[in-house]
Amino acid sequence: MTQPAAVESQHTPPFYDVEQRRTLVISGLAIIVGVGAVGIARLLIAAIALVTNISFFGRFSARSVSPADNHLGIWVMIIPVIGGVIVGLMARYGSGAIRGHGIPEAMEQILTNESKISPKITVLKPLSAAIAIGSGGPFGAEGPIIATGGALGSLVGQVLHTTPDERKTLLAAGAAAGMAAIFGTPVAAVLLAIELLLFEYRPRSLVPVALASATATGIRMVFEGSAGVFAMPQLTQPSGEALTTYMVLGAIVGVAAVGVTKSLYYIEEGFEKLPIHWMWFPALGAVVVGIIGYFEPRTLGVGYDNISNILAGNFTDSVLIALVVLKFVSWSIALGSGTSGGTLAPLFTIGGGLGALLGILCVHWFPGLGVDPRIAALVGMAAIFAGASRALLTSVVFAFETTRQPIGLLPLLGGCSAAFIISSLMMRYTIMTEKLARRGTHVPTEYIAADPTEIARRDAAAVRHRHFDLPTDFGTSRREARESRKTEIL
């Protein structure tokens, strides 16, 4: 055996076998986390329905119902305020981490706390979200379940004493499984984890997340079926002029996404200046929710049916204008107050409605372009999320998976890309990272390949954590062995 080969043999532990075994173990745990996330998601949906039935209809039932169908009259204004008071008390005496829409908080734990989330969040986050949304809060359930699924993955990682990288993978797996359990979008859920949580693209991280997402989607199909969440009529292939128009539309919606993001944090700053304890902020925000809900009941609650109606072209111009404006005001003030709720469904409602309105205007003013308001609504729905979060691929694939309309893929890609570019030019941070940046947390914005030596050092540390006796200069030794081998050949 030559000297360089002997050096490599001496310093090369059974690392890659260990790596593969650990990936297999983490993949198995991710599947378990995925199953748990589905259970939490179904419990959350049932809890929201239960609170909605009790609050708006006075009956004890977990049957899904819209608060827009209530007959409370002016008394409907009180319901959101009661919910806000309860959420404020839970945040102060339970955990302040339940405030907000969940994804930024999960990102912060990954970046600053080795992906360690308090076990209390696994219970308090979905419970507070059920109360906030069930009492009329204009939020979606997806943000809280993403946060709760992530907390479950983190908890499993902490109990089993995994490494920070493995715990991050389990957190992302739980978050992706939660999203897939709500919307039945396995690929978009994986992309969301990559673009907003993992900050890397490695098979050892990607495979467990994909397995968790696939598991959650498979279980959801057993209970809900395989149809898209937002049903749309069959679309026709757009012309070149229409495709160009959809890109311009996406750019316009990108400007709106910037406005929505900045408005949200401006409102949040306003609440922080109030001379009262933050515990009361959700109740104050809920006053606006109740008033708007009295005049436009469709702004109350999750509002997934609103998104379906927008995409199907069932709303008139006046309804679209009222829904877009009032949903934005209600949601931004409520979320800015620090209550518990998600951002995806409100953004989809606002973006979809805005896209539909722009599409209708194009039909009236430029009929020769061949614009379909339904495709315009689809592009607007995805583009506002792409602009606000800069999760480009997630936005495109999510819109496709929820509608099952392949003809919409090309308009989606063009429109979301345009929104992404406009957002990048007009604001530095996103709706997910602005809060973290204000707290001094650096958030990666691009995926840059890491130094292989640094990866080897980190992996060696992980293996040593598993009680393998490795030299502390593992990465350096492997590099020296390679250099020696090159010298020998020369």
* Segments making up each domain of the chain, as ranges: 23-224, 240-438, 449-489
Phi, psi for 366 (deg, rounded to 5) = -130, 65
Phi, psi for 340 (deg, rounded to 5) = -105, 120
- Angstrom CA distances, 434 to 105, 248, 298, 333, stand at 12, 26, 29, 17
414 Cβ contact list (under 8 Å, min separation 6): 243, 246, 247, 250
What is the overall mean pLDDT for the chain?
85
- Angstrom CA distances, 475 to 141, 165, 470, stand at 45, 18, 10
pLDDT means per 10 residues in the chain (490 residues)?
A: 49 59 90 94 92 93 88 93 94 84 78 80 87 91 86 90 89 93 93 87 89 95 88 87 95 96 92 92 94 94 91 92 95 90 90 96 92 95 95 94 92 96 92 81 63 54 48 42 39
pLDDT in the model for residue 234: 84
Phi, psi for 339 (deg, rounded to 5) = -80, -175
Hey, what CATH topology would domain 23-224 get?
Clc chloride channel (1.10.3080)
> Residue 449 CB: number of other CB atoms within 10 A?
8
Q: In which residue are the tokens 């990954």 written?
A: 110
**Structure pTM?**
0.86
Q: Do domains 23-224 and 240-438 have the same CATH topology?
A: yes
pLDDT in the model for residue 468: 42
176 Cβ contact list (under 8 Å, min separation 6): 149, 189, 190, 192, 193, 209, 212, 213, 216
pLDDT in the model for residue 457: 58
In angstroms, rounded to a whole number, what is the distance separating the alpha carbons of residues 249 and 411? 10
CATH class of the region 240-438: mainly alpha
